[in-house]
Amino acid sequence: MKNLERELGYNFSNKNVLNEALHHSSIKRYAIPFERLEFLGDRVLGLVISEHIYRNSSGKEGTMAKMQAAFVCAETCHEIAKTIGIDKVIHTAGNHLKSNKTVLADAMEAILGAIFIDSSYSKVRDVILNLWKDKIDSYNDEAQDPKTTLQEICQRLSGDMPRYEVLSIAGSAHEPVYTLSVTALNRTAKASGHSRKEAEIAVARKILEQIQEKPE
């Protein structure tokens, strides 16, 4: 916990709330406290990022929404969770869950919820903006949201929308694997992810690579 607090740049007054955030809902007796903290942390993260974008960007609503989606998505939460070592301290019902992207992303949100409960909005805002600083500073609008980019290309070239199809859902409830295909501009690609949204982003990015390599 001390190492995690150092990485967070925040020391908890109530260690119990941090303990609840570090016990994943796969451990049944901790399920409700973890899920409640995750719920809160998700909303706090969204508000902090939205406020920061509003105060520091002159973009229109659509541009702001794309930025917000890039910063609060599960992929970003997972990457930051790994960076600060949440995978080394989280307790789960099985060790295999400690490397699961969704589990770590959820834990990141639960910890943010715990900081908010333990302190205040201004404190958790400082933590978030510090942890997310590199992501925010390196944001490149053109590299974000491959689904939107693919849709815009399809509408411009053919007038048709990309067609996504769920091919299979495998794995456990805590570690699902979605495999999807997308058909666009007479091409088809397939990719997987730990959520439908993650799989859609992966397969959209994959077919965009095909289009860029061999344009119609």
Give the H/E segment covering residue 178.
Answer: strand 176-184
Residues marked as catalytic: 42, 109
How far apart are alpha carbons 84 and 112 in whole angstroms?
A: 13
Structure tokens at 171: 């794995």
How far apart are alpha carbons 67 and 62 in whole angstroms?
A: 9
Structure tokens at 140: 């490149």
The residues that bridge with 91 in the sheet, in sequence order, are 23
List the alpha helices (DSSP H) in 57-100.
61-72, 74-83, 86-89
